[in-house]
Amino acid sequence: MNMIDQYEDKLPKSIIAKLRENIPKGTSDSKIKQILENTVKEYNEARVEAGECVGVISAESIGEPGTQMTLNTFHFAGVAEMNVTMGLPRIIEILDGRENLQTPMMEIYLKKPYSEGKNIRDLALSIKETTLKEIAFEFLLNMAQGVIEIKLNSEKMKELGITDVFLSKAISSQIKGYSTRTTKDSLILMSKGKEESLNEIYRNKEKIKDMYIKGVKGISQVLPVKRLDEYIIITAGSNLVEILQLPEVDKERTITNNIFEIANVLGVEAARQAIINEVFKVIESQGLNVDMRHIMLVADIICSSGLVKGITRYGVVSEKSSVLARASFETPIKHIINAALVGEVDYLNSVVENVMLNQPIPAGTGLPNLVTKVKK
Amino acid sequence: MAEEKKETKEAEKEEAVEEKEAGKKEKAEEERIEAGEQKIYKQVKSIVFSVFSPKMIKKMASAKIVTPELYDKEGYPVDGGLMDIRLGVIDPGLKCKTCGSKLKECIGHFGYIELARPIIHINFVSIISNLIRCTCRECGRILIPKDKIKKCNLELDRVEKERGIEERRDKVKDIISNLKTINKCPYCKARQQKITLDKPTTFFENEKRLSPIEVRSRLERIPDEDCFLFGLNPEHVRPEWLVLTILPIPPVTIRPSITLESGERSEDDLTHKLGDIVRINQRLFENINAGAPEIIIEDLWDLLQYHITTFFDNNIAQLPPARHRSGQPLKTITERIKSKEGRIRHNLAGKRTNFSARTVISPDPMLDLNEVGVPKVIAMKLTIPERVNEWNINYLKKFVEKGSTKYPGANYIIRPDGKKKKITEETKEASLEEIQPGYIVERHLMDGDLALFNRQPSLHRMSMMCHRVRVLPALTLRLNPAVCHPYNADFDGDEMNLHIPQTEESRAEAEILMEVQTQLISPRYGLSVIGCVQDAISGNYLLTKELNLTRNEAVDLLAAIGIDDFSKLPRKENISGKEVISVLIPEDFNFTGRARSCIADSCKGCENWVGDKCKNDSRVIIKEGKLISGIMDRALLGEGSGLLLRNIHKKYGKKFTIDILGKLFRLGIEVLLKVGFTTAISDTDLPEEAKAEIKETLNKAEKEVDELINLYYNNKLEAFPGKTLRETLELKILEVLNKARNTTGALVAQHSDLKSHTKIMADSGARGNLLNLAQMAACVGQQAMRGKRIEKGYRERTLSSFKKGDLSPEAHGFIRNGFKSGLEPWEFFFGSMTGRDSLMDTALRTPKSGYLYRRLANAMQDLKVEYDNTVRDASKRIIQFSYGEDGVDVSKSENGIINVKRIIKSTLS
């Protein structure tokens, strides 16, 4: 088997690993050598050639099946799952590098006792973001006295483990100029001191409705689910930073579908992998076959500057060095004007500029040059 | 002084043009001396973008335009008018006064007009505004103290070096935005006033209007070293150039007039606009000279500003667009450049071509896969240039002799000096005499010539492949139906394009890189994109499944697909279909695979594995070129999956693969010709007991749903976590109904005639599936919109024939009838709802995915593999160190991997 080690510089790691796995034990050294030689031969035959326009091929490989994908936003992955954006809209969302997703989602894995189902419901509920209006029946305005009275749903509060004291503390820390007082199943906010205009008090009432009480901000729905033989929590809404700080959470496997959060918390390399995973998931769910390499290349170009940049005129395309290449995409006037102001030079290094000037492009068969002396 | 965007663009063009011109001259020179040798072209190395200075505009101009008149009484262009022949010629017969060349040879020359008063260039308004706001109104220095300037400059250079020029632009914006609030000049201590911009082009300083003259004089005061901080490069742009004092007039060649049928001339939009500008400018001059009141002058000035603004851009938000008399807005410079139909995307990044044809396509399985049938009419119009030499002169003379009206003839001869001469009946004889080595004959297209064949939308590289021409009668382009898949073509009226490469280089590339057999493996997923389709699959399925032929029939079949060597056919009277297909397979080929009907991962423990045979005959074994067991169906022959084809390709190469594929295809069709194959309504007939059983199933399901609904109303239903009761009910109903439909499907499959052609098509994977059959025979099933049952319609009900609040299956789009028995009116309506929904889906998806594709292609077009195996972009930034982490080309792999298992197996055995 150490025969294989000698080939580590001739074959990529993935193939070496596969060889190790698949060569039956007890194969003679000469046979192994033969296998290795054959593999190297096949590998070398299958290598990309220099000058190959891999970018265009990847773009085609993702763009072409795009026409076959469904636009249907929602899909059901079984009865007990959440609705997730799938299909073409999701691909567009990922590649655009949008920060606000249509359906942000997390899969929270848990540490040992909890992953076996201990207190799973309570845990899930404690993660969920609770706003005041969820635990209130109604909001009453007493204009004359400048008082807002909130009728509370004590059942719901109990379920969520919110006490009156906790509640009034949470509220008073977020709104100024009001004193809080609790009575039996209602909470009264009284304006301190000066009279407030009707408008303002009304505005405050509306503000209070969405006031954050407890849980993790941004998590709007929670769903404990048994996956394989452990319990996990699926959430609608995402907040990776805060979820990872919870002690019950398995930090290694918990994941969100928001690429920006991943980039911020775990870095670009993680974001790149997240893009690959997410795009692949969508393409697979549509029953299409696209090779991993194409998705990797797209993810790589999105992340190559160290930040997650979308494939838009503001993102990846704006980073091109060639004025004409940028102008040929979108907003040509803007690009030409800006270039003129700086005195930019276009060295015609890429494809479109040379197409524009009727010159051979520097790729594929246009790449090799012949140097020769021309007789005058 | 001034500069324009257009100008900048022209500047760039100009440079290119200059280069090209030089190239052209040289070329002409050479042709005269050594006729027909390879021409040497100059290459543009780089293009500098900059703003024209007034001096430069004057220098490059060949005429000063002083009058708005275009033509004199005779219709001859007026000197000093906008159509001045010093600006180039657009009339046949006239000669350009500047360069002396004729129409089409003269590329046109710029002129200029001197503006009576300076005018602000609309596209530079924002930078002008930044400049005057952030510099001192007295001394012109930037409002940054001396010691900080250096720091800022260093910072900018650093940003540009690290992040590129776009980031630098952002940084400049940052720096400038901090300056607007400073109100004391750090140099001369002058107090700064507040400057506002009244869009589009008027500046105010504390409510007092700043005239463009003032603006310009302030810009003049800005010293060169401060320009850098605004992102300007004073070498290329002095700030004052941003306010126009001289306007360049584009050559007439870019604004040609059209002569209408009535003999009237219709001028281009740009000429109209320029006419306005010149006229107002003259009026302004006259009024100034006559000492007219300030108010009149200001009005004229504003008018001139308006005209020049709309000359550059006719889509400014605050200005009414300039219009024709008919009310249609003028298309001025910005509109010419911008958007899909604009210069850049329409004429520069995409070009038109000669030597191409387009017509309707139709199928012809008798053609090889890499052939294209070209109608004779087209073959006589498209030509291939062949250079005459000593050895082929007689061969080429034969074409000339036939002339252009008889096939195969020739249309033109080209003399060594590049002159083209048409071959007609009259000139035929003369041309024949004249022809000698060095001439080029443009002969008609003939069998075996190379042609590029393309169908839009060209979404992947297999949308344009190289075929060999086969000249055929009739008027459509013909192709083998097996190559429909990569083109995504069908024959319901599709049209396709044909291009004929004209040079040896292009033909070589087309043949080596683009011919059909080189494109067999998709670069998207590493499997075959070309395979048997439709009838060819059914045919081979039937052949290998059940056919037994007499020797004569077998020989007939094989002869029909072009095989004349029958030595592989067993010497016996009765020959099975498997033995017929084995004739095609090479003798040293071994293969094991599984047909579509296989249900398990391995035969061990499979319920269909009886004795040592598969009940469905789905284990395909080829040993030494003989099909021993198994049925050939889509899993083996079709595109995408076609593993058999992939293995043949690996072992015997591309040429052999398309050869055998073509033969298999024809074999399939010949088989169907022999057996007869169709589809009939009787295929969907079911025995009475099956019908009863299906009815029973559906009734049961409906009852079940009723129970669920009752549970729901009685509040006894238990909600799924995270769902409301109503949602839970919907989910449960859907589940029940889907199960019911699946059961009926299974029942139909069980009871339908195994020999029915519809079933054969579904089983072989040629077309359709069992679900389609079940929908015809038994039950169409639940119509779903957006993953839910149909809910829309009237208030609380879907159609007025239902009760309000009816939750039953039939009121929410469950179609319990089959297509054969016919639908109830409401069922038909529900069906049409989902039908329309999916139609809209397609209509909305196409542009969306098209845009995604365009963005991807644009962002990634210059990524390529370098000689050191890294993937880099145009500025040589590394994107990947090794393509796809292992450097494997997907189109040379097997489904994206190097098949280690196969290698081990073949080495060990």
Tell me the shortest Cα–Cα distance from B859 to chain A, in angstroms: 5
Position B679 pLDDT exceeds 50 = yes
Which of B172, B343, B524, B641 would best serve as a mutation to test chain A binding (most A beta carbons within 10 A)?
Answer: B524
Tell me the shortest Cα–Cα distance from A136 to chain B, in angstroms: 19
Query: How many residues does this entry show for chain A?
Result: 376
Give the per-residue pLDDT at B627. Answer: 87
Phi, psi of A5 (to 5 degrees): -55, -35
Give the per-residue pLDDT at A161. Answer: 74
Nearest CA in chain A to B908: A31
Sequence-separated contacts (24+) of B434-437 with Cβ below 8 Å:
B435/B388, B435/B393, B435/B396, B435/B397, B435/B400, B436/B388, B436/B393, B437/B388, B437/B389, B437/B390, B437/B393
Tell me the shortest Cα–Cα distance from A236 to chain B, in angstroms: 11
- Residue-wise pLDDT tens digits, A57-100: 999 999 988 888 876 655 444 444 567 788 888 899 999 988 88
A18: confidence class by pLDDT, cuts 50, 70, 90: confident
CB contact under 8 A, A22 and B48: no
Amino acid at A306: G
Contact in structure between B201 and B317 (CB atoms under 8 Å): no
Residue B615: CA count within 13 A, CB half-sphere:
8
A320-366: CATH, from 3.40.50.1950, 3.20.20.70, 1.10.150.390, 3.40.190.10: 1.10.150.390
Give the per-residue pLDDT at B343. Answer: 87
Query: How many residues does this entry show for chain B?
Result: 909
CB contact under 8 A, B853 and A73: no
Q: What gap in Å lies between CA A24 and CA A13, rounded to an integer? A: 19
CB contact under 8 A, A66 and B864: no
- Residue-wise pLDDT tens digits, B809-866: 889 888 988 899 999 999 999 999 999 988 888 888 889 889 999 999 999 998 999 9
Chain A CB contacts of B887 below 8 Å: 12, 47-48
A193: confidence class by pLDDT, cuts 50, 70, 90: low
Contact in structure between B522 and B529 (CB atoms under 8 Å): yes
Chain A CB contacts of B509 below 8 Å: 365
Give the per-residue pLDDT at B829. Answer: 92
- Residue-wise pLDDT tens digits, B692-722: 999 999 999 999 999 999 988 888 887 776 6
Give the per-residue pLDDT at B9. Answer: 44
Give the per-residue pLDDT at B354. Answer: 92
Give the per-residue pLDDT at A277. Answer: 93
Which of B49, B640, B852 is the closest to A343 by Cβ? B49
Which one is predicted more confidently, B284 or B22?
B284
Torsion of CA B287, B292, B296, B301, to 10 degrees: 40
Q: Confirm or reject contact between A371 and chain B (CB < 8 A).
A: no
Query: Smallest Cα–Cα separation from B97: which of B252, B249, B279, B248?
Result: B252
Task: Please give the share of chain B, as a percent, with pLDDT higher than 70.
Answer: 94
Which of A35, A68, A290, A356 would best serve as a mutation to test chain B binding (most B beta carbons within 10 A)?
Answer: A356
Spans of all domains in chain A: 2-45, 130-214, 320-366
Position B19 pLDDT exceeds 70 = no
Position A196 pLDDT exceeds 70 = no
Q: What gap in Å lies between CA B332 and CA A14, rounded to an integer? A: 58
Nearest CA in chain B to A316: B859
A130-214: CATH, from 2.30.30, 3.40.30, 3.30.1360, 2.40.160: 3.30.1360
Chain A CB contacts of B844 below 8 Å: 71
Q: Sign of the C-alpha dihedral, residues B736, B739, B744, B750? A: negative
Q: Confirm or reject contact between A4 and chain B (CB < 8 A).
A: no
- Residue-wise pLDDT tens digits, A89-138: 889 999 998 888 888 888 889 888 888 877 788 888 888 888 777 777 77
Query: Smallest Cα–Cα separation from B40: which of B28, B51, B52, B50?
Result: B28
Position B26 pLDDT exceeds 60 = no
Give the per-residue pLDDT at B496. Answer: 96
Position B581 pLDDT exceeds 50 = yes
CB contact under 8 A, B903 and A39: yes
Give the per-residue pLDDT at B22. Answer: 37
> Global pTM?
0.88
Give the per-residue pLDDT at B255. Answer: 87
Residue range B80-88: average pLDDT?
Answer: 84
CB contact under 8 A, A22 and B900: yes
Please give the structure tokens belonging to residue A189: 């906010």
Give the per-residue pLDDT at B342. Answer: 86
Task: Specify which residues B521 forms β-bridges with.
Answer: B528
- CATH 3.40.50.620 corresponds to the domain B383-443: no
Chain A CB contacts of B236 below 8 Å: 340-343
CB contact under 8 A, B459 and A67: yes
Residues within 8 A of B (CB atoms), A 329-358 only: 329, 332-333, 336-353, 355-357
CB contact under 8 A, B5 and A340: yes
Position B31 pLDDT exceeds 60 = no
B596: confidence class by pLDDT, cuts 50, 70, 90: confident
Give the per-residue pLDDT at B844. Answer: 86
Nearest CA in chain B to A18: B900
Q: CB neighbours (10 Å) of residue B599?
A: 12
B10: confidence class by pLDDT, cuts 50, 70, 90: very low
Position B441 pLDDT exceeds 90 = yes
Tell me the shortest Cα–Cα distance from B523 to chain A, in angstroms: 7
Q: Confirm or reject contact between A73 and chain B (CB < 8 A).
A: yes
Please give the structure tokens belonging to residue B713: 């109303």
- Residue-wise pLDDT tens digits, B51-79: 888 988 888 888 888 888 888 887 788 88
Architecture of domain B682-840 in this structure = Orthogonal Bundle (1.10)
- Residue-wise pLDDT tens digits, B414-430: 998 888 888 888 888 88
Which one is predicted more confidently, B613 or B867?
B867
Q: Confirm or reject contact between A186 and chain B (CB < 8 A).
A: no
Burial class (CB in 10 A: 0-12, 13-18, 19+), B296: middle
Nearest CA in chain B to A63: B853
Which one is predicted more confidently, A167 or B767?
B767
Q: Confirm or reject contact between A14 and chain B (CB < 8 A).
A: yes
CB contact under 8 A, A63 and B334: no
Give the per-residue pLDDT at B475. Answer: 94
Give the per-residue pLDDT at B355. Answer: 93
**Which of A191-200, B319-328, B782-791 has the least mean pLDDT?**
A191-200
Give the per-residue pLDDT at B12. Answer: 44
Torsion of CA B231, B234, B240, B245, to 10 degrees: -120
Convert chain A into a string of H (helix), E (strand) and C (coil): CHHHHCCCCCCCHHHHHHHHHHCCCCCCHHHHHHHHHHHHHHHHHCECCCCCCHHHHHHHHHHHHHCCCCCCCEECCCCCCCCEECHHHHHHHHHHCCCCCCCCEEEEEECHHHHCCCCHHHHHHHHCCEEHHHCEEEEEEECCCCEEEEEECHHHHHHHCCCHHHHHHHHHHHCCCEEEEEECCEEEEEECCCCCCHHHHHHHHHHHHCCEEECCCCCCEEEEEEECCEEEEEEECCCHHHHHHCCCECCCCCEECCHHHHHHHHCHHHHHHHHHHHHHHHHHHCCCCCCHHHHHHHHHHHHCCCCCCCCCCCCHHHHCCCHHHHHCCCCHHHHHHHHHHHCCEECCCCHHHHHHCCCCCCCHHHCCCCCCCCCC
Position B3 pLDDT exceeds 60 = no
Q: Confirm or reject contact between A77 and chain B (CB < 8 A).
A: no
Spans of all domains in chain B: 124-239, 383-443, 535-675, 682-840, 864-908
Q: What gap in Å lies between CA B673 and CA A126, rounded to an integer? A: 71
Chain A CB contacts of B901 below 8 Å: 22
Tell me the shortest Cα–Cα distance from A255 to chain B, in angstroms: 20
Residue range B247-265: average pLDDT?
Answer: 85
B265: confidence class by pLDDT, cuts 50, 70, 90: confident
**Which of A97-106, A136-145, A315-324, B220-229 has the least mean pLDDT?**
A136-145
B535-675: CATH, from 3.40.30.10, 3.30.830.10, 3.90.1150.10, 1.10.274.100: 1.10.274.100
Q: CB neighbours (10 Å) of residue B247?
A: 27
Residue range B601-619: average pLDDT?
Answer: 74
For chains A and B, CB pairs below 8 A equal 353
B362: confidence class by pLDDT, cuts 50, 70, 90: very high
Give the per-residue pLDDT at B872. Answer: 92
CB contact under 8 A, B523 and A61: yes
Position B2 pLDDT exceeds 50 = no
Position B885 pLDDT exceeds 90 = no
Residues within 8 A of A (CB atoms), B 188-217 only: none
**Which of A161-165, B427-431, B635-639, B658-662 has the least mean pLDDT?**
A161-165
Tell me the shortest Cα–Cα distance from A195 to chain B, in angstroms: 37
CB contact under 8 A, A14 and B9: no
Which of A320, A355, A357 is the closest to B44 by Cβ? A357
Q: End-to-end CA distance of chain B: give it in Å, rounded.
A: 83
Chain B CB contacts of A333 below 8 Å: 5, 123, 313, 334, 337-338
Chain A CB contacts of B856 below 8 Å: 58-59, 62-63, 95, 298, 311
Give the per-residue pLDDT at A195. Answer: 63
Task: Please give the share of chain B, as a percent, with pLDDT higher than 90.
Answer: 24
Eight-class DSSP state of B211: P
B29: confidence class by pLDDT, cuts 50, 70, 90: very low
What value does the mean pLDDT of chain B take? 85
